[in-house]
């Protein structure tokens, strides 16, 4: 067994002798077992791929290093924070802005698939970030299987709510189609100002997973949103992944064509500027 001071916790002092103190300790960490070191090296190797991902729709990754058993990741600062933070502080995001956000996310996803064969795996409002220049970018895409497995275990209560039905069943890998499912739920959440599967129906995380697999997909309340937006989210939330559209096909929908037509008007930059007094950090 290997020992390091930071892995050991003193439980009690058993006695003091002439030459020193005898304590009862417990070994806590797994910091420097051979497997742990191998795993960390593997994660760092996989993270290096992220440096090659450079797109205006993707939060820039500068590098990563190990320190004290933690993986430290350097990335671009997005001064308005996540879109989860935005809607929690300012309320539901207007549909025309959600359309712009949808365009940014889709372009980011298409870039990752086409240039790097990367699927995101973890699209949700807290992984979409905004800055005061009017840029919206995706972050935290799961290149590293090890890292994303860790993330999933750690956030068993949160992130799994965005899993596509085919991924709820264990062993199904993430595909572009499963990112599209998560995109649909994310856009609904931004526009409604709340996660679209009502929490009161779900006493536990297991009920949430069962809900995703067995219940009809959530839908937007038609009166509050345009038919184009309702149609768009319905397509993202088609339960059969083979029937669900690919990100590129989603660019060619009425909702996204409208958004593209407005993209040059500076609507997104105006919106992020309006958030600066409340949200800049």
Show which residues are catalytic: 122
The span from the CA of 202 to the CA of 189, in Å, is 17
Considering the rule CB under 6 A, would residue 55 count as an interface residue with ligand ADP? no
Does 127 help bind Mg ion (rule: CB under 5 A)? Answer: yes
Contact call for residue 140 and ligand ADP (CB under 6 A): yes
| # chain residues binding ligand ADP, by CB under 6 A | 14
Minimum distance from residue 182 beta carbon to Mg ion (Å): 13
Distance of CA 84 to the CA centre of its chain: 11
Region from 27-35, 47-55, 81-89, 165-173 binding ligand ADP, contact rule CB under 6 A? 81-89
Instruction: Kindly state whether residue 177 participates in binding ligand ADP, applying the rule CB under 6 A.
Output: no
Q: In whole angstroms, how close is the CB of 271 to ligand ADP at the nearest point?
A: 18
Measured from the CB of residue 76, what is the shortest distance to ligand ADP in angstroms? 6
* Interface with Mg ion, residue 186, by CB under 5 A: no
Q: Which is nearer to ligand ADP, 81 or 99 (CB)?
A: 81
CA dihedral 45, 148, 88, 100 (to 10 degrees): 70
Please give the structure tokens belonging to residue 32. 């420097």
Strand 8-16 versus strand 21-27 pairing type: antiparallel
Cα separation values, 246 from 114, 173, 177, Å: 12, 16, 6
For residue 272, state whether it binds ligand ADP (rule: CB under 6 A): no
Rg (CA), the chain: 22
Exactly one of 95, 135, 140, 166 binds Mg ion (CB under 5 A); that residue is: 140
Site string for ligand ADP, 216-255 (x = CB under 6 A): ----------------------------------------
189 forms part of the interface with ligand ADP (CB under 6 A): no
Q: Least distance in Å: CB of 262 to Mg ion?
A: 28
Distance (Å, whole) CA 95 – CA 221: 13
When the beta carbons of 140 and 179 are compared against Mg ion, the nearer one is 140
SS3 sequence of 25-72: EEECCCCCCHHHHHHHHHHHHHHHHHHHCCCCCECCEEEEEEECCEEE
Residue 178 makes contact with Mg ion by CB under 5 A: no
Give backbone dihedrals phi and psi of 128, rounded to 5 degrees, phi first: -110, 120
CB atoms within 10 A of CB 235: 17
- Considering only residues 237 to 276 of the shown chain, the ones binding Mg ion according to CB under 5 A are none
Closer to ligand ADP at the Cβ: 81 or 247? 81
CA distance 181 to 159: 13
Contact region for Mg ion (CB under 5 A) — 138-146, 159-167, 198-206, 217-225? 138-146
Count of C-beta atoms within a 10 Å radius of residue 161: 21
List interacting residues with Mg ion (CB under 5 A).
127, 140
List interacting residues with ligand ADP (CB under 6 A).
59, 75-78, 81-82, 85, 126-127, 129, 139-140, 155
């Amino acid at each position: 067994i290997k020992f390091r001071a930071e892995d050991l916790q003193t439980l009690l002092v058993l006695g003091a002798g002439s030459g020193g103190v005898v304590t009862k300790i417990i070994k806590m960490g797994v910091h420097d077992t051979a497997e742990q070191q191998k795993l960390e090296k593997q994660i760092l190797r996989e993270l290096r791929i992220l440096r090659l991902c450079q797109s205006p729709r993707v939060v820039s990754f500068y590098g990563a290093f190990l320190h004290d058993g933690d993986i430290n990741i350097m990335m671009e600062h997005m001064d308005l924070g996540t879109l989860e933070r935005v809607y929690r502080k300012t309320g539901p995001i207007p549909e025309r802005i959600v359309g712009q956000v949808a365009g940014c996310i889709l372009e980011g996803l298409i870039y990752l698939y086409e240039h790097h064969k990367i699927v995101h795996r973890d699209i949700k409002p807290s992984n979409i970030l905004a800055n005061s220049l009017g840029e919206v970018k995706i972050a935290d895409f799961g290149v590293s299987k090890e890292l994303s497995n860790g993330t999933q275990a750690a956030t068993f209560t949160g992130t799994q709510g965005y899993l596509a039905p085919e991924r709820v069943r264990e062993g199904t890998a993430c595909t572009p189609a499963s990112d599209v499912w998560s995109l649909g739920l994310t856009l609904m959440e931004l526009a409604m100002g709340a996660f679209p599967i009502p929490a009161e129906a779900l006493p536990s995380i297991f009920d949430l997973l069962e809900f995703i697999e067995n219940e009809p997909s959530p839908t937007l309340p038609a009166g509050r949103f345009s038919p184009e937006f309702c149609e768009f989210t319905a397509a993202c939330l088609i339960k059969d992944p083979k029937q669900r559209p690919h990100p590129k096909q989603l660019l060619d929908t009425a909702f996204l064509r409208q958004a593209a037509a407005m993209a040059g008007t500076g609507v997104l930059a105006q919106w992020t500027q309006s958030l600066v007094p409340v949200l800049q950090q």
